[in-house]
Amino acid sequence: MTSSSARRVPIEAQKVDAPLTSSAAFLVVTVNDGEDAANTVRDVLSGIDDITKNVGFRDLDAQLSCTVGIGSEVWPRLTARPAPQGLHPFTEFSGATHTAPRTPGDLLFHIRANRQDLVFEFERQLLDELAGAVTVVDETIGFRYFDARDLLGFVDGTANPVGTAVGESTLVGHEDATHAGGSYVVIQKYLHTLEQWQALTTEQQEAIIGRKKADNIELDDAETGQKSHKTLSTIVVDGVEHDILRDNMPFGSPGTSTFGTYFIGYSRRLWVTEKMLERMFIGDPPGLHDRILDFSRAVMGCTFFAPSADALRGLGDG
């Protein structure tokens, strides 16, 4: 198979490291009461490949994909398979100044493509099939901003693992063999006060983030006192650094002065993402929270598990 033809195949289902795209939709829903609703959801999730192929074949180079996450509370309604060992509702962190809130959400659909019309059409067909079975909690449309920067002006996702480290960091393995190949997913929605952020000097912004704004070069870690966002979100245990995979996207509406970042992190070990949030909101040491939170307010927080493609298809077996 040539490299050209290799690109022209649909992206496999539940591929958490699908390519970074120019457009995305983050759809969070709750499953309505009743066995009929659960049956509908089960059937739609098990056949999500069909929607992906139906929409994606219009332009295979647009790299349409959808990753489905399932929350802990709805898990027993959809399958008799035991829940992943680490899956639980989003852990709310309340520091002296800022809070990471927990908000409702049974299912997450992370829809990605390099064409917004494909993202739109996929979501339309998905919700048509789910009609009457779910209630939409949140729909956020993201876009790629300049050279992979967030609306604060800094390159986002620099710390993502690459190569063989991606699977090691994101996919459950032998430690929970029943759910091997799946991934824990944490989402948060942040709203920025851009006017206040832009009032800072570039040097002040760089000290908060921990990187140079223009060229993304890391700054040295502070040895004591206030730590940067980069340092607080780096988790090292017994000399080993534990990574997660981020596919954050900016979103917003200048007309309504809405500016934000949608955080989504995939991880093999849920505690790694939770430790990052604890350090950000509580502080390390406690009281010295991540100063990015003074300009970025968390308004959503949910935890899901994205099962392997085979496990997702197996939901249709009842």
Q: Is the dihedral of CA 11, 14, 20, 24 positive or negative?
A: positive
Residue 14 φ/ψ, nearest 5 degrees = 60, 25
**Cβ atoms of 262 and 26 closer than 8 Å:** yes
* Annotated active-site residue in 106, 150, 156, 243: 156
- The closest of 190, 166, 172, 146 to 301, measured between CA atoms, is 190
Tokens of 284: 């390390």
Place of tokens 């983030």: 209
- Nearest-angstrom CA–CA distance, 113 and 61: 9
Q: Count other Cβ atoms within 10 Å, centred on residue 69.
A: 27
- Nearest-angstrom CA–CA distance, 1 and 64: 21
Tell me, yes or no, if 128 is annotated catalytic. Answer: no
Tokens of 198: 């832009």
Q: Count other Cβ atoms within 10 Å, centred on residue 122.
A: 25
Q: DSSP assignment, residue 253?
A: E
Positions marked catalytic: 156
